[in-house]
Amino acid sequence: MYDTAKTESAVEQMELKIEARNVQVYYGDTHAIKDVNVDIEDKTVTAFIGPSGCGKSTFLRCLNRMNDTIDICRVEGDILLDGEDIYDPKVDPVQLRAKVGMVFQKPNPFPKSIYDNIAYGPRIHGLARTKAELDEIVEKSLRRGAIWDEVKDRLDAPGTGLSGGQQQRLCIARAIATEPEVLLMDEPCSALDPIATAQVEELIDELRQNYSVVIVTHSMQQAARVSQKTAFFHLGNLVEYGETGQIFTNPEDPRTESYITGRIG
Amino acid sequence: MTDISQQGSGPAAPSRKHGDTLMQLTARTKRRNAAERRFQAYGIAAIGVGLLMLAILVVNIFGNGMGAFTQTFVSLDVELLESKLDKKGNRDIEDIKKVSTFGYAPLIKGAFEAKVAELGLETDLKSKAMADLLSKSAPAQLRDYVLADPDTIGKTVSFRFLANSRVDGYMKGRVSRESIENDKNISAAQLDFADQLIEAGVIEKTFNPAFIFGADASDQRPEAAGMGVSMLGSLFMMFVVLALALPIGVAASIYLEEFAAKNWLTDIIEVNISNLAAVPSIVFGILGLAVFINYMHLPMSAPLVGGLVLTLMTLPTIIISTRASLKSVPPSIRDAALGVGASKMQAVFHHVLPLAAPGILTGTIIGLAQALGETAPLLLIGMVGFIASNAPDSVASGLMDPNSAMPAQIYEWAKRADPAFYERAWGGIIILLVFLVTMNTLAVILRRRFERRW
User: Element (H or E) spanning B387, and its range?
Assistant: none
* Contact between chains at B339 and A104 (C-beta distance less than 8 A): yes
* Contact between chains at A66 and B341 (C-beta distance less than 8 A): no
pLDDT level of residue B387 (50, 70, 90 thresholds): confident
Segment B147-163 shows an average pLDDT of 88
CA A187 to chain CA centroid, Å, is: 8
Predicted confidence (pLDDT) at residue B127 exceeds the cutoff of 80: yes
Q: Which residues pair with A221 in a beta bridge?
A: none
- B95-99, B322-326, B384-388: which is most confident: B322-326
pLDDT at B129: 87
Q: Residue B352: closest CA among chain A residues belongs to which residue?
A: A110
pLDDT at B8: 44
Predicted confidence (pLDDT) at residue B2 exceeds the cutoff of 50: no
Three-state secondary-structure class, residue B203 = strand
pLDDT at B454: 45
Segment B350-369 shows an average pLDDT of 91
Domain ranges of chain A: 4-260
Strands A237-243 and B156-162 come out as unpaired
pLDDT at B215: 85
CA-based nearest distance B343→chain A, Å: 6
pLDDT at A63: 92
A190-194, B236-240, B447-451, range with the lowest pLDDT: B447-451
pLDDT at B16: 58
Mean pLDDT of chain A: 88
pLDDT at A183: 93
* A102 vs B330, B339, B343: nearest CB: B339
pLDDT at B262: 83
Segment B12-30 shows an average pLDDT of 74
pLDDT at B400: 82
Distance CA B251, CA B245 (A): 10
Predicted confidence (pLDDT) at residue A26 exceeds the cutoff of 70: yes
Predicted confidence (pLDDT) at residue B1 exceeds the cutoff of 60: no
Segment B311-331 shows an average pLDDT of 93
| Chain A, chain B: beta-carbon pairs less than 8 Å apart | 68
pLDDT at A85: 92
Distance CA B337, CA B349 (A): 11
* Contact between chains at B334 and A178 (C-beta distance less than 8 A): no
- Are A204 and A45 within 8 A, CB to CB? yes
* Contact between chains at A174 and B340 (C-beta distance less than 8 A): yes
CA-based nearest distance A256→chain B, Å: 25
More confident of the two residues B395 and A191 = A191
- Are B322 and B361 within 8 A, CB to CB? no
Q: Tell me, which fold does domain B228-450 have in CATH?
A: MetI-like fold (1.10.3720)
pLDDT at A18: 92
Three-state secondary-structure class, residue B159 = strand
- Are B119 and B77 within 8 A, CB to CB? no
Which percentage of chain B shows pLDDT scores above 90? 42
A51-60, A201-210, B177-186, range with the lowest pLDDT: B177-186
- Are B349 and B306 within 8 A, CB to CB? no
Environment class of residue B205 by beta-carbon count within 10 Å: exposed (0-12), middle (13-18) or buried (19+)? Answer: middle
Give the mutation candidate from A27, A120, A123 for the B interface (greatest B CB count, under 10 A).
Answer: A120
B106-115, B322-331, B395-404, range with the lowest pLDDT: B395-404
pLDDT at A240: 92
Distance CA B177, CA B192 (A): 10
Q: HEC states along chain A?
A: CCCHHHHHHHCCCCCEEEEEEEEEEEECCEEEEEEEEEEEECCCEEEEECCCCCCHHHHHHHCCCHHHHCCCEEEEEEEEECCEECCCCCCCHHHHHHHEEEECCCCCCCCCEHHHHHHHHHHHHCCCCCHHHHHHHHHHHHHHCCCHHHHCCCCCCEHHHCCHHHHHHHHHHHHHCCCCCEEEEECCCCCCCHHHHHHHHHHHHHHCCCCEEEEECCCHHHHHHHCCEEEEEECCEEEEEEEHHHHHHCCCCHHHHHHHCCCCC
A69-73, A163-167, B275-279, range with the lowest pLDDT: A69-73
pLDDT at B5: 45
Strands A182-186 and A212-216 come out as parallel
Segment B134-155 shows an average pLDDT of 87
Rounded to two decimals, the ipTM of the complex is: 0.85
Give the mutation candidate from B263, B267, B340 for the A interface (greatest A CB count, under 10 A).
Answer: B340
Segment B21-36 shows an average pLDDT of 90
Residue B268 CA neighbour count, 13 Å, CB half: 3
Give the mutation candidate from A97, A125, A181 for the B interface (greatest B CB count, under 10 A).
Answer: A97
Strands A45-49 and A182-186 come out as unpaired
- Residue A213 sits at φ, ψ, to 5 deg, of -110, 130
Q: pLDDT tens digit string along A101-139?
A: 999 989 999 999 999 999 999 999 988 889 999 999 999
Which percentage of chain B shows pLDDT scores above 70? 94
Q: HEC states along B31-100?
A: HHHHHHHHHHHHHHHHHHHHHHHHHHHHHHHHHHHHHHHEEEEEEEEEECCHHHHCCCCCCCHHHHHCCC
- Residue B299 sits at φ, ψ, to 5 deg, of -65, 145
pLDDT at B46: 98
Identify all chain A residues contacting B344, using CB atoms and an 8 Å cutoff: 69
CA-based nearest distance A9→chain B, Å: 33
pLDDT at B10: 47
A131-145, B19-33, B384-398, range with the lowest pLDDT: B384-398
* Contact between chains at A101 and B355 (C-beta distance less than 8 A): no
pLDDT at B105: 87
Residue (of B265, B275, B269) closest to B252 by Cα position: B269
pLDDT at B57: 95
Segment A157-170 shows an average pLDDT of 91
- Are A185 and A216 within 8 A, CB to CB? yes
* A175 vs B339, B351, B452: nearest CB: B339
Domain ranges of chain B: 70-207, 228-450
Segment A157-167 shows an average pLDDT of 90
Distance CA A104, CA B227 (A): 59
pLDDT level of residue B187 (50, 70, 90 thresholds): confident
Mean pLDDT of chain B: 87
Could you tell me which CATH number the domain at A4-260 has? 3.40.50.300
Estimate the crossing angle of helix B228-254 against helix B303-327, to 10 degrees.
40
Predicted confidence (pLDDT) at residue B360 exceeds the cutoff of 80: yes
CA-based nearest distance A162→chain B, Å: 11
- B11-15, B32-36, B259-263: which is most confident: B32-36
Identify all chain A residues contacting B452, using CB atoms and an 8 Å cutoff: 111
Distance CA B277, CA B314 (A): 8
Predicted confidence (pLDDT) at residue B348 exceeds the cutoff of 90: yes
More confident of the two residues B393 and B3 = B393
Predicted confidence (pLDDT) at residue A9 exceeds the cutoff of 60: no
- For B226, other C-beta atoms within 10 Å of its C-beta total 25
End-to-end CA distance of chain A: 21
